[in-house]
A = this chain, B = another copy of it.
Amino acid sequence: MVTLKDVAKRAGVSVSTASYSINGSSLITKETKQKVLLAAKEIGYRTNGPAKNLKEKKTNIIGLFLSGFTGPFFTDMMEGIQDVVIQNGYELMVYASDDNHRLLVERYVDGAIILNHHMEDSFLKAIADEKLPCVVLDREIKTPFINHVLLPNEQGSAMAVRYLLEKGHNRIGYMAGSRESYDGEMRLKGFKTEMKKYNRSFSRKDLLRADFTESSGYLAMSQYIEKRTQDVPTAFICANDEMAMGAIRAIKEKNLKIPDDIAIVGFDDIYVSKHFSPSITTIKVPRKEWGTIAAQSLFKMMDSTYDAETMEAVSVELMSRTSG
Protein backbone atom coordinates (compact mmCIF):
# COMPACT_ATOMS: atom_id res chain seq x y z
CA MET A 1 0.00 0.00 0.00
CA VAL A 2 1.29 3.40 -0.96
CA THR A 3 1.29 5.68 2.04
CA LEU A 4 2.04 9.27 2.75
CA LYS A 5 5.43 8.16 3.95
CA ASP A 6 6.26 6.82 0.51
CA VAL A 7 5.17 10.04 -1.08
CA ALA A 8 7.27 12.04 1.35
CA LYS A 9 10.32 9.94 0.69
CA ARG A 10 10.01 10.26 -3.06
CA ALA A 11 9.44 13.99 -2.86
CA GLY A 12 12.32 14.35 -0.43
CA VAL A 13 10.28 16.00 2.28
CA SER A 14 8.88 15.05 5.64
CA VAL A 15 5.60 13.29 6.16
CA SER A 16 4.08 16.38 7.67
CA THR A 17 5.02 18.50 4.69
CA ALA A 18 3.49 15.89 2.44
CA SER A 19 0.31 15.96 4.46
CA TYR A 20 0.10 19.72 4.46
CA SER A 21 0.76 19.85 0.74
CA ILE A 22 -1.91 17.38 -0.11
CA ASN A 23 -4.42 19.11 2.09
CA GLY A 24 -3.52 22.44 0.55
CA SER A 25 -2.16 24.32 3.50
CA SER A 26 -1.16 27.89 2.70
CA LEU A 27 2.04 27.56 4.66
CA ILE A 28 3.71 25.31 2.16
CA THR A 29 5.54 26.92 -0.72
CA LYS A 30 4.21 26.41 -4.19
CA GLU A 31 7.20 24.41 -5.41
CA THR A 32 7.24 21.89 -2.59
CA LYS A 33 3.52 21.46 -2.93
CA GLN A 34 3.94 20.71 -6.62
CA LYS A 35 6.78 18.33 -5.92
CA VAL A 36 4.67 16.41 -3.47
CA LEU A 37 1.61 16.31 -5.68
CA LEU A 38 3.70 15.01 -8.53
CA ALA A 39 5.29 12.32 -6.41
CA ALA A 40 1.86 11.32 -5.15
CA LYS A 41 0.54 10.98 -8.65
CA GLU A 42 3.57 9.07 -9.87
CA ILE A 43 3.34 6.35 -7.29
CA GLY A 44 -0.44 6.35 -7.20
CA TYR A 45 -1.04 7.57 -3.71
CA ARG A 46 -4.57 7.49 -2.37
CA THR A 47 -5.60 8.68 1.06
CA ASN A 48 -6.45 6.02 3.54
CA GLY A 49 -9.89 7.08 4.66
CA PRO A 50 -10.15 5.06 7.86
CA ALA A 51 -6.80 6.41 9.08
CA LYS A 52 -7.89 9.92 8.35
CA ASN A 53 -11.20 9.31 10.09
CA LEU A 54 -9.43 7.99 13.12
CA LYS A 55 -7.33 11.06 13.44
CA GLU A 56 -10.01 13.57 12.61
CA LYS A 57 -12.76 11.80 14.47
CA LYS A 58 -15.15 12.23 11.61
CA THR A 59 -15.94 10.46 8.37
CA ASN A 60 -17.88 12.95 6.30
CA ILE A 61 -20.34 10.23 5.51
CA ILE A 62 -24.07 10.31 6.10
CA GLY A 63 -25.78 6.95 6.36
CA LEU A 64 -29.25 6.14 5.15
CA PHE A 65 -30.46 3.03 6.92
CA LEU A 66 -33.32 1.16 5.31
CA SER A 67 -34.94 -2.17 6.01
CA GLY A 68 -34.70 -3.20 2.38
CA PHE A 69 -34.07 -1.90 -1.08
CA THR A 70 -37.46 -2.80 -2.40
CA GLY A 71 -40.14 -0.63 -3.97
CA PRO A 72 -40.29 2.39 -6.25
CA PHE A 73 -41.23 4.66 -3.40
CA PHE A 74 -37.82 5.16 -1.93
CA THR A 75 -35.75 6.09 -4.92
CA ASP A 76 -37.28 9.55 -5.13
CA MET A 77 -36.66 10.10 -1.48
CA MET A 78 -33.08 8.98 -1.84
CA GLU A 79 -32.53 11.50 -4.58
CA GLY A 80 -33.76 14.28 -2.33
CA ILE A 81 -31.42 13.20 0.42
CA GLN A 82 -28.52 12.72 -1.94
CA ASP A 83 -28.78 16.25 -3.30
CA VAL A 84 -28.60 17.86 0.11
CA VAL A 85 -25.84 15.59 1.33
CA ILE A 86 -23.63 16.34 -1.64
CA GLN A 87 -24.30 20.06 -1.36
CA ASN A 88 -22.95 19.90 2.16
CA GLY A 89 -19.76 18.22 1.09
CA TYR A 90 -20.61 14.82 2.50
CA GLU A 91 -21.16 11.44 0.92
CA LEU A 92 -24.29 9.35 1.18
CA MET A 93 -24.03 5.71 1.92
CA VAL A 94 -27.13 3.56 1.75
CA TYR A 95 -27.38 0.48 3.82
CA ALA A 96 -30.08 -2.11 4.28
CA SER A 97 -30.09 -4.45 7.23
CA ASP A 98 -32.43 -6.38 9.41
CA ASP A 99 -30.38 -7.21 12.44
CA ASN A 100 -26.90 -5.99 13.14
CA HIS A 101 -26.31 -2.41 12.19
CA ARG A 102 -22.57 -2.35 12.18
CA LEU A 103 -22.09 0.67 9.98
CA LEU A 104 -24.16 2.75 12.35
CA VAL A 105 -22.80 1.28 15.56
CA GLU A 106 -19.15 1.41 14.66
CA ARG A 107 -19.00 5.06 13.85
CA TYR A 108 -18.78 4.86 10.12
CA VAL A 109 -21.07 7.83 9.73
CA ASP A 110 -21.28 11.33 11.10
CA GLY A 111 -25.05 11.39 10.91
CA ALA A 112 -27.87 9.04 10.06
CA ILE A 113 -31.28 9.05 8.45
CA ILE A 114 -33.33 6.11 9.52
CA LEU A 115 -36.32 4.37 8.01
CA ASN A 116 -35.92 0.90 9.34
CA HIS A 117 -38.42 -0.84 11.54
CA HIS A 118 -35.83 -3.38 12.57
CA MET A 119 -34.19 -0.81 14.77
CA GLU A 120 -35.58 -0.49 18.26
CA ASP A 121 -36.23 2.87 19.80
CA SER A 122 -33.90 1.99 22.66
CA PHE A 123 -31.13 1.22 20.23
CA LEU A 124 -31.53 4.57 18.54
CA LYS A 125 -31.59 6.33 21.86
CA ALA A 126 -28.33 4.69 22.80
CA ILE A 127 -26.81 5.88 19.55
CA ALA A 128 -28.10 9.39 20.08
CA ASP A 129 -26.77 9.37 23.62
CA GLU A 130 -23.34 9.27 22.10
CA LYS A 131 -24.12 12.45 20.26
CA LEU A 132 -24.62 10.94 16.84
CA PRO A 133 -27.27 13.07 15.14
CA CYS A 134 -30.13 11.05 13.70
CA VAL A 135 -33.24 11.86 11.76
CA VAL A 136 -35.93 9.22 12.00
CA LEU A 137 -38.58 8.90 9.36
CA ASP A 138 -40.66 6.13 10.77
CA ARG A 139 -41.41 6.93 14.39
CA GLU A 140 -41.74 9.66 16.91
CA ILE A 141 -38.87 9.96 19.33
CA LYS A 142 -38.12 12.80 21.65
CA THR A 143 -34.47 12.86 22.60
CA PRO A 144 -31.63 15.24 22.06
CA PHE A 145 -29.81 14.39 18.84
CA ILE A 146 -32.87 12.80 17.29
CA ASN A 147 -35.22 14.67 15.01
CA HIS A 148 -38.13 13.22 13.15
CA VAL A 149 -39.73 14.20 9.88
CA LEU A 150 -43.07 12.55 9.51
CA LEU A 151 -45.57 12.33 6.71
CA PRO A 152 -49.09 13.64 7.39
CA ASN A 153 -50.46 10.16 6.98
CA GLU A 154 -53.57 10.53 9.07
CA GLN A 155 -54.48 13.71 7.30
CA GLY A 156 -54.02 12.01 3.94
CA SER A 157 -56.32 9.16 4.88
CA ALA A 158 -58.86 11.65 6.14
CA MET A 159 -58.81 13.40 2.78
CA ALA A 160 -59.40 10.13 1.00
CA VAL A 161 -62.31 9.26 3.26
CA ARG A 162 -64.00 12.60 2.83
CA TYR A 163 -63.53 12.42 -0.92
CA LEU A 164 -65.28 9.09 -1.13
CA LEU A 165 -68.04 10.09 1.26
CA GLU A 166 -68.79 13.10 -0.87
CA LYS A 167 -69.09 10.83 -3.85
CA GLY A 168 -71.82 8.98 -1.98
CA HIS A 169 -69.95 5.92 -0.81
CA ASN A 170 -71.04 4.79 2.61
CA ARG A 171 -69.34 1.49 3.09
CA ILE A 172 -65.63 1.88 2.53
CA GLY A 173 -63.11 -0.92 2.83
CA TYR A 174 -59.45 -0.52 3.65
CA MET A 175 -56.43 -2.41 2.43
CA ALA A 176 -53.59 -2.04 4.89
CA GLY A 177 -49.93 -2.92 4.52
CA SER A 178 -47.74 -4.84 6.90
CA ARG A 179 -47.96 -3.91 10.54
CA GLU A 180 -44.30 -3.02 10.97
CA SER A 181 -44.67 0.07 8.87
CA TYR A 182 -45.20 3.17 10.95
CA ASP A 183 -46.54 5.13 8.02
CA GLY A 184 -48.84 2.29 7.17
CA GLU A 185 -50.36 2.05 10.62
CA MET A 186 -50.82 5.80 10.77
CA ARG A 187 -52.67 5.72 7.51
CA LEU A 188 -54.96 3.06 8.87
CA LYS A 189 -55.50 5.01 12.05
CA GLY A 190 -56.36 8.14 10.12
CA PHE A 191 -58.85 6.19 8.08
CA LYS A 192 -60.58 4.76 11.13
CA THR A 193 -60.88 8.02 13.01
CA GLU A 194 -62.22 9.88 10.01
CA MET A 195 -64.81 7.20 9.43
CA LYS A 196 -65.85 7.43 13.04
CA LYS A 197 -65.98 11.19 12.84
CA TYR A 198 -68.58 10.93 10.09
CA ASN A 199 -70.43 8.19 11.90
CA ARG A 200 -69.70 5.55 9.34
CA SER A 201 -69.34 2.06 10.68
CA PHE A 202 -66.27 0.10 9.70
CA SER A 203 -66.29 -3.58 10.42
CA ARG A 204 -63.22 -5.70 10.76
CA LYS A 205 -64.24 -7.83 7.79
CA ASP A 206 -63.64 -4.91 5.43
CA LEU A 207 -60.04 -4.56 6.52
CA LEU A 208 -57.66 -6.39 4.22
CA ARG A 209 -54.01 -6.97 5.06
CA ALA A 210 -51.30 -7.14 2.43
CA ASP A 211 -47.63 -6.17 2.41
CA PHE A 212 -47.42 -3.11 0.17
CA THR A 213 -46.53 -5.04 -2.98
CA GLU A 214 -48.70 -5.25 -6.07
CA SER A 215 -48.89 -9.01 -5.90
CA SER A 216 -49.96 -9.04 -2.27
CA GLY A 217 -52.67 -6.50 -3.06
CA TYR A 218 -53.87 -8.61 -5.92
CA LEU A 219 -53.99 -11.71 -3.79
CA ALA A 220 -55.78 -10.09 -0.88
CA MET A 221 -58.43 -8.55 -3.08
CA SER A 222 -58.98 -11.73 -5.10
CA GLN A 223 -59.53 -13.79 -2.01
CA TYR A 224 -61.75 -11.18 -0.46
CA ILE A 225 -64.08 -10.98 -3.45
CA GLU A 226 -64.24 -14.73 -3.84
CA LYS A 227 -65.17 -15.15 -0.21
CA ARG A 228 -67.82 -12.45 0.00
CA THR A 229 -69.09 -12.46 -3.60
CA GLN A 230 -71.77 -9.78 -3.51
CA ASP A 231 -71.23 -8.46 -0.04
CA VAL A 232 -68.45 -5.95 -0.78
CA PRO A 233 -68.01 -2.21 -0.13
CA THR A 234 -68.49 0.19 -3.02
CA ALA A 235 -65.07 1.68 -2.40
CA PHE A 236 -61.63 0.81 -1.05
CA ILE A 237 -58.77 2.88 0.17
CA CYS A 238 -55.37 1.25 -0.17
CA ALA A 239 -52.39 2.15 1.97
CA ASN A 240 -50.20 2.54 -1.10
CA ASP A 241 -50.49 2.69 -4.87
CA GLU A 242 -48.76 -0.59 -5.56
CA MET A 243 -51.38 -2.47 -3.59
CA ALA A 244 -54.05 -0.37 -5.29
CA MET A 245 -52.72 -1.57 -8.63
CA GLY A 246 -52.93 -5.15 -7.44
CA ALA A 247 -56.43 -4.62 -6.13
CA ILE A 248 -57.54 -3.12 -9.42
CA ARG A 249 -56.11 -6.03 -11.32
CA ALA A 250 -58.04 -8.45 -9.13
CA ILE A 251 -61.25 -6.50 -9.49
CA LYS A 252 -61.00 -6.30 -13.26
CA GLU A 253 -60.34 -10.00 -13.38
CA LYS A 254 -63.68 -10.63 -11.68
CA ASN A 255 -65.33 -8.52 -14.38
CA LEU A 256 -66.30 -5.77 -12.00
CA LYS A 257 -66.09 -2.18 -13.18
CA ILE A 258 -63.88 0.49 -11.69
CA PRO A 259 -65.01 2.88 -10.35
CA ASP A 260 -68.66 1.97 -10.96
CA ASP A 261 -68.76 -1.28 -9.01
CA ILE A 262 -65.80 -0.60 -6.77
CA ALA A 263 -63.92 2.69 -6.50
CA ILE A 264 -60.28 2.64 -5.51
CA VAL A 265 -58.17 5.32 -3.88
CA GLY A 266 -54.46 4.77 -3.39
CA PHE A 267 -51.71 6.51 -1.48
CA ASP A 268 -48.30 7.92 -2.55
CA ASP A 269 -48.89 8.88 -6.18
CA ILE A 270 -46.01 6.88 -7.57
CA TYR A 271 -45.08 7.56 -11.14
CA VAL A 272 -47.19 4.90 -12.83
CA SER A 273 -50.40 5.78 -10.99
CA LYS A 274 -51.18 8.50 -13.45
CA HIS A 275 -50.63 6.23 -16.42
CA PHE A 276 -52.24 3.12 -15.06
CA SER A 277 -55.46 1.98 -16.59
CA PRO A 278 -57.63 3.24 -15.04
CA SER A 279 -55.55 6.09 -13.73
CA ILE A 280 -55.48 5.95 -9.96
CA THR A 281 -57.01 8.49 -7.64
CA THR A 282 -54.50 8.85 -4.86
CA ILE A 283 -52.92 10.91 -2.11
CA LYS A 284 -49.81 12.53 -3.45
CA VAL A 285 -46.79 12.37 -1.16
CA PRO A 286 -43.87 14.64 -2.06
CA ARG A 287 -41.24 11.99 -1.62
CA LYS A 288 -38.26 13.89 -2.86
CA GLU A 289 -39.12 16.83 -0.69
CA TRP A 290 -39.44 14.49 2.25
CA GLY A 291 -35.88 13.35 1.66
CA THR A 292 -34.67 16.89 1.24
CA ILE A 293 -36.23 18.07 4.45
CA ALA A 294 -34.91 15.08 6.34
CA ALA A 295 -31.37 15.74 5.19
CA GLN A 296 -31.61 19.46 5.84
CA SER A 297 -32.86 18.78 9.29
CA LEU A 298 -29.91 16.48 9.87
CA PHE A 299 -27.38 19.07 8.82
CA LYS A 300 -29.11 21.62 10.97
CA MET A 301 -28.53 19.35 13.95
CA MET A 302 -24.94 18.74 12.98
CA ASP A 303 -24.30 22.42 12.86
CA SER A 304 -22.77 23.41 16.16
CA THR A 305 -24.90 26.53 16.40
CA TYR A 306 -27.93 24.34 16.54
CA ASP A 307 -30.88 25.72 18.41
CA ALA A 308 -33.76 23.30 18.87
CA GLU A 309 -35.91 21.97 16.08
CA THR A 310 -37.65 24.14 13.53
CA MET A 311 -39.50 21.48 11.66
CA GLU A 312 -40.74 22.25 8.20
CA ALA A 313 -43.79 20.23 7.36
CA VAL A 314 -44.41 17.95 4.43
CA SER A 315 -47.85 18.31 2.95
CA VAL A 316 -50.07 15.97 1.09
CA GLU A 317 -52.60 16.43 -1.69
CA LEU A 318 -55.42 14.43 -3.24
CA MET A 319 -55.14 13.68 -6.95
CA SER A 320 -58.56 12.95 -8.34
CA ARG A 321 -58.39 10.57 -11.29
CA THR A 322 -60.56 7.86 -12.78
CA SER A 323 -60.22 4.93 -10.38
CA GLY A 324 -62.20 6.52 -7.61
Query: Which one of B46, B97, B105, B271 lies within 8 Å of A106 (CB-CB)?
Result: B46
Query: Restricting to A14-30, which residues have a CB under 8 Å from any CB of B?
Result: none
Given A69-B78, A103-B93, the answer on whether A54 and B50 have CB atoms closer than 8 Å is yes
A107 and B275 contacting across the interface, CB-CB below 8 Å: no
A168 contacts the other chain (CB 8 A) = no
Q: Does A1 contact B (CB under 8 A)?
A: yes
- A95-B92 CB under 8 A given contacts A44-B129, A130-B1: yes
Name the B residues within 8 Å of A57 (CB-CB). 1
Residue A249 lies at the interface, judged by CB distance under 8 Å to chain B? yes
CB < 8 Å: which of B2, B69, B107 contacts A46?
B107
Number of copies: 2
Given A50-B54, A106-B48; A275-B82 close (CB under 8 Å): no
Taking a contact as CB atoms closer than 8 A, the residue among B2, B69, B102, B130 that contacts A75 in the complex is B69
Is A108 at the interface (CB under 8 A from chain B)? yes
Task: Give the chain B neighbours of A50 by CB distance below 8 A.
Answer: 49-51, 53-54, 59, 107-108
- Please, which residues of chain B bring their CB within 8 A of the CB of A126? 44
Task: Tell me the bound Cα distance from A59 to B48 in angstroms.
Answer: 12
> Hey, what's the 0/1 contact readout for A226-253 against B, CB within 8 Å counting as 1?
0000000000000000000100010000
Compute how far the CA of A102 lies from the CA of B2 in the bound complex, rounded to whole angstroms.
17
Interface size on A, residues (CB 8 A): 47
> Closest Cβ of chain B: how far from A135's Cβ, in Å?
18
Contact with B along A74-97 (1 / 0, CB 8 A): 010011001000000001111111
> A54-B54, A75-B71 in contact; A49/B130 too (CB < 8 A)?
no
Q: Is there a chain B Cβ closer than 8 Å to A277's Cβ? A: yes
Shortest Cβ distance from residue A227 to the other chain B in the assembled complex, whole angstroms: 23
> Is A82 a contact of B103 with CB atoms below 8 Å?
no
Cβ B79 vs Cβ A70 within 8 A: yes
**Are the CB atoms of A95 and B91 closer together than 8 Å?**
yes
Interface residues of A in 234-288 (CB under 8 A from B): 245, 249, 271-272, 275, 277
Chain A residues near B (Cβ < 8 Å): 1-2, 44, 46-54, 57, 59, 61, 68-72, 75, 78-79, 82, 91-97, 102-103, 105-108, 126, 129-130, 214, 245, 249, 271-272, 275, 277
Between-chain CB contacts (< 8 Å), 19 pairs: A2-B130, A46-B105, A46-B106, A46-B107, A48-B106, A49-B106, A49-B107, A49-B108, A50-B53, A50-B108, A69-B75, A69-B79, A69-B94, A70-B79, A91-B97, A214-B272, A245-B272, A245-B275, A249-B275
Q: What 5 new A-B contacts, CB under 8 Å, besides A44-B130, A52-B106, A54-B54?
A: A50-B54, A68-B79, A78-B96, A91-B95, A93-B103
